[in-house]
Amino acid sequence: MRNEFTAVIERDGDWFVSWSPEIPGANGQGRTVEECRESLGAAIQLILEDRCANNA
């Protein structure tokens, strides 16, 4: 199953920061946009796995 979420990515000095409005608490960061997107994806995955584990 594949889900799609919005990624808001902004530059903050030398870094990029990101968050997803659909997943409260999901944040990412990286030196490049790609690193930032991967970091956010990992955060979203952890949050969703935790929600599934707590609902089982």
- On whether the pTM is more than 0.95, the answer is no
30: which residues sit within 8 A by CB, 6+ positions away? 15, 16, 36, 37, 38, 39
What digits encode the pLDDT tens for the residues 2-14? 789 999 999 999 9
Position 1 scores a pLDDT of 63
Low-confidence ranges of the chain (pLDDT < 70): 1
How many Cα neighbours within 13 Å face the side chain of 42? 9
**Hey, is 27 helix, strand or coil?**
strand
Cα gap 22→53, rounded to integer Å: 19
